């Protein structure tokens, strides 16, 4: 309990953690900006933690167009999420209490690395998505996981598997998704002048294995 409480406090109090969350939220927004979303749609955030990212996404999308639902298995996190979100559900992402084909968009950030039986979570997300629905997945790269362990952001026992960008795409494809976009990003956990320019340069040099985070936007295949 003490570790979880510290995690929730750090997300709001530590400038590095706040900047990282902001950067990841911006990347999710970039993915959504490229999509032809319905005028009214449901967004499910699997592993919503304190609900901060989903809250920021709803502000960007507009509450009149998007209904946001946060799901997390941890009651201590959900108490914080309920302060920000109108709809929060305690549930395991591998057993979502939602109807088949009821969700337009799923986001899942910093979740995959923690999950035992990740295939069940992906299959459940596939089930609850509408035909051609969208899933946006974000997680640290293997190098990002190693740095997070070194800096004490999480412990060895919390990590089940660190997937690289290719492996993340492959498992999504295996469970009925087609990839729309995938990239690694975030060279440094600390912002500095010229960071964006350096990241663009490294991408052109195909050195994205140096980045700390990755995002994959995938669409539910019509048949599975």
The pLDDT of residue 221 is 87
CATH number of 2-220: 3.40.50.150
What pLDDT, on the 0 to 100 scale, is given for residue 168? 97
What confidence score (pLDDT) does residue 208 get?
87
Q: How far is CA 112 from CA 121, 168, 199, 216, in A?
A: 9, 9, 24, 12
pTM: 0.90
3-class DSSP state of 25: helix
pLDDT at 11: 59
Tokens for 101, please give them: 């084909």
Residues of the chain with pLDDT under 70: 1-15, 63-64, 223-224
Residue 90 tokens read as 């305690």
What pLDDT is stored for residue 2 in this prediction?
Answer: 40
Q: Which pLDDT score, from 0 to 100, does residue 224 have? A: 45
Q: What is the pLDDT of residue 26?
A: 94
Give pLDDT, residue 9: 57
Q: Cβ(9)–Cβ(76) under 8 Å?
A: no
User: pLDDT (tens digit, 9 = 90+) per residue, 73-101?
Assistant: 988 888 889 999 989 999 999 999 999 99
């Amino acid at each position: 309990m003490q570790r979880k409480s510290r995690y929730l406090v750090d997300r709001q109090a530590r400038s590095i953690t706040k900047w990282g969350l902001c950067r990841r939220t911006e990347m999710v927004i970039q993915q959504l900006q490229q999509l032809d979303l319905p005028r009214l749609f449901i967004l499910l955030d699997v592993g919503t933690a304190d609900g901060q990212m989903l809250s920021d996404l709803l502000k960007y999308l507009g509450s009149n167009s998007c209904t946001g639902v946060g799901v997390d298995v941890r009651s201590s996190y959900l108490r914080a999420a309920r302060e920000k979100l109108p709809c929060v559900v305690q549930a395991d992402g591998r057993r979502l209490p939602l109807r088949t084909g009821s969700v337009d968009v799923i986001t899942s950030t910093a979740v995959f690395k923690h999950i035992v039986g990740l295939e069940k979570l992906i299959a459940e997300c596939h089930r609850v998505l509408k035909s051609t629905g969208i899933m946006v997945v974000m997680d640290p790269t293997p190098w990002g996981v190693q740095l997070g362990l070194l800096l004490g952001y999480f412990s060895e026992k919390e990590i089940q598997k660190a997937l690289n960008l290719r492996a993340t795409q492959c498992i999504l494809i295996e469970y009925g998704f087609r990839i729309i976009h995938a990239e690694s990003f975030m060279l440094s956990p600390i912002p500095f002048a010229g960071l964006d320019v350096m990241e663009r340069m490294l991408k052109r040099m195909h050195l994205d294995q140096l980045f700390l985070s990755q995002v994959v936007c995938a669409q539910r295949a019509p048949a599975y």
